[in-house]
Amino acid sequence: MTAAMKILAFNSSPRKEKGNTERILRPFLDGACQAGAEVEVVYLYDKKILPCLGCFHCWLRTPGKCCQKDDMEGLLKALTEADVAVYATPLYVFGMSAVMKLFMDRIVPLAEPFVELTPDGRSTHPMRGEKKNKGMVVVSNCGFHELSNFDELMAHFRAIAYHSRVEILGSLLRPEGEFLAVAEKLMPEKIGKVYEAAREAGRQVVTVGRVSPETERAVSAHLLSREEFLESANAYFRSRIKAAPGNPA
């Protein structure tokens, strides 16, 4: 009997299960589970992850093992045992959240110190030993309207995937992220299609090995026109500023 696919998700939102990143991640994992996968979520803000010291201890003195004592040893073990890793992060200053960057900086023990060339002639480090993980999925949300705001984030993840010898199986990118909770009340049918697309993405990763471009587009589909988005966002912040303690009524 074939073992179930193991999908390990790292949610790096400080809001954890209450955040907008989770609103896309959760249906994705539900869909994967429906398709027969074993799923697990790690909330990185619940973990102790120290900054990389750049000491190369994990390359030169204790190969594959960091000198720092925190939760990364267990997280790296879980990562290497997963079939698919899901990196879920809100978009902060056009990149990943701080704790996700801390996590990524600490994957150095998974690589060897030596340098080799890839088939297309780029310098890289060979990965250490045999690892089960063969693919990644990126999940992100941002407060802006345009999908192009994710370009720099995805360029970073593509570089990580390239040098880690894994394939990006799908990217679930959700603009208008701060509007999701409101949409659940005001336009449940429209937001329901977005969440169903995220579930379908999870099913596709398990059943066909990747998310289709059509499903990715459905996850990213706009809920508002640009004009509606601008009006709603600015009205929201004006009301919040006006309601803040100490501000004039």
φ, ψ dihedrals at 166, nearest 5°: -125, 165
Q: Domains in the chain, ordered, with CATH?
A: 6-224 (3.40.50.360)
Beta carbons of 79 and 85 less than 8 angstroms apart? yes
Secondary structure tally for the chain: helices H, strands E: 9, 7
Beta-strand runs (E) in the chain:
6-11, 38-43, 84-90, 116-117, 123-124, 135-141, 167-174
pLDDT at residue 198, rounded to an integer: 98
Would you write out the chain's pLDDT as a tens digit for each of its 249 residues? 678 999 999 999 999 999 999 999 999 999 999 999 999 999 999 999 999 999 999 999 999 999 999 999 999 999 999 999 999 999 999 999 999 999 999 999 999 999 999 999 999 999 998 666 679 999 999 999 999 999 999 999 999 999 999 999 999 999 999 999 999 999 999 999 999 999 999 999 999 999 999 999 999 999 999 999 999 999 988 988 988 787 765
16: left (phi over 0), alpha (psi -120 to 50) or beta: left
- Take residue 199 and report the two structure tokens written for it: 């579930």
- Take residue 223 and report the two structure tokens written for it: 């809920």
pLDDT at residue 236, rounded to an integer: 86
Give the number of other CB atoms < 10 A from CB of residue 240: 10
Q: Which helix (H) or strand (E) holds 200?
A: helix 188-207
